[in-house]
Amino acid sequence: MNRDELVSFLDEYLNVPAYPDKSSNGLQVEGKEEVEKIAFTVDTTLRTIERAVKAGADMMVVHHGMIWGGLEYVTGVHYRRLKALIENGLNLYVAHLPLDAHPEVGNNVELLKLLGLEPKGPFGEYKGLTIGFWGEFEEPQPIEKIAQIVAEKLDTTVRAYEFGKREIKTVGAISGAGAFALEEAWRKGIDLLITGEFGHADYLTAVDLPQSVLVAGHYKTETLGVRALMQVVKEKFNADVLFIDEPTGL
């Protein structure tokens, strides 16, 4: 594969220009022009870079990149990561909000698919963008059953906060740090918010609304998009791909 052809496809398929984002999306670090193997992973770390190099990858496609609003200094961990990428000619392609929000392979639509749900509409307004989706069961489901399904399919620990409804008809999905959508979920009558992480202030907000929440881990909820995108690239380009799993437990 030609790198620039692959990058152009990803930019267009993910609609990268449509998302003003703190993350610098697209090709963050330029490497080899010809790409034979692509590593997909959630985070850009020395460990994932080293594993990609060891596997013979020429490009990494990640959800969390290196550059968030620009690099002021190339020192410390930034230097070490950038050095490892450049010395090995490894391209780094990043899709943050574009991969959360994508209607076919995004983290949030994939979260609904875990439950057998199709998106009924957009959900989760974030800085003027809507990045999530909501879906609806034909019949109400116990929150405990939903938590068990998510835990099994993501191989993760799920915490259930039953502050609102326990019999769930409508579900909103925002991967990662999605607690910003708590009040929107409550206003729109969405019975359950599924997200990745949940802080002290988020807990108190959910109690007072009240809003039921499932928390399934920032990392685990954001493996879904890169895995789904990996299959699209594999099929379109007949590409040699691999997924690098580096769970944080968070």
Residue 60 and residue 130 in one domain: no
Confirm if 141 and 168 have CB atoms less than 8 A apart: yes
Question: For every one of its 250 residues, what pLDDT tens digit does the chain have, with 9 covering 90 and above?
Answer: 999 999 999 999 999 999 999 999 999 999 999 999 999 999 999 999 999 999 999 999 999 999 998 888 999 999 999 999 999 999 999 999 999 999 999 999 999 999 999 999 999 999 889 999 999 999 999 999 999 999 999 999 999 999 999 999 999 999 999 999 999 999 999 999 999 999 999 999 999 999 999 999 999 999 999 999 999 999 999 999 999 999 999 9
Strands 212-215 and 192-195: what pairing? parallel
Domain assignment present for 28: yes
Residues 51 and 105 in one domain: no
pTM: 0.96
**Number of domains comprising the chain:** 2
CATH of the domain at 171: 3.40.1390.30
Same domain for 132 and 106, yes or no, is: yes
In sequence order, the 6+-apart residues with CB closer than 8 A to the CB of 211 are 163, 164, 182, 185, 186, 193, 205
CA distance 238 to 232: 10
Residue 244 in any domain: the answer is no
Residue 246 covered by a domain: no
Q: Are 194 and 216 in contact (CB under 8 A)?
A: yes
User: Which residue range(s) make up the domain with 46?
Assistant: 3-95
The position carrying tokens 């690239």 is: 233
